Amino acid sequence: MRTTLDLPEDLLTEAMKTTRIQTKTKVIITALEELIRKSKISELKKFKGKVDLDIDLDTVRGRQCRF
């Protein structure tokens, strides 16, 4: 989809240098993907300590008890 954006050139240039991404399109796509990812992580944090999965991590990870 084509869209015309008025972006601060210095901000876009800094983002390209920081990420070492060569194109403006790719740096904007990456920024949007990261924004979505961080938003989803933030939503998941609301459930911390509220969900009891009753999972034995040693079994899941294939560990044997040493004691």
pLDDT (0 to 100) of residue 66: 66
Report domain extents, the chain.
9-60
Q: What is the pTM of this model?
A: 0.67
pLDDT digits (tens, 9 = 90+) for 6-58: 999 999 999 999 999 999 999 999 999 999 999 999 998 888 878 777 888 77
What angle in degrees, to the nearest 10, is found between the helix axes of 9-19 and 24-45?
80
pLDDT (0 to 100) of residue 67: 62
CA distances, 52 to each of 8, 27, 29, 44, 48 (Å)? 46, 39, 36, 14, 10
Structure tokens at 48: 């911390």
C-alpha closest to that of 15 among 1, 29, 36:
29
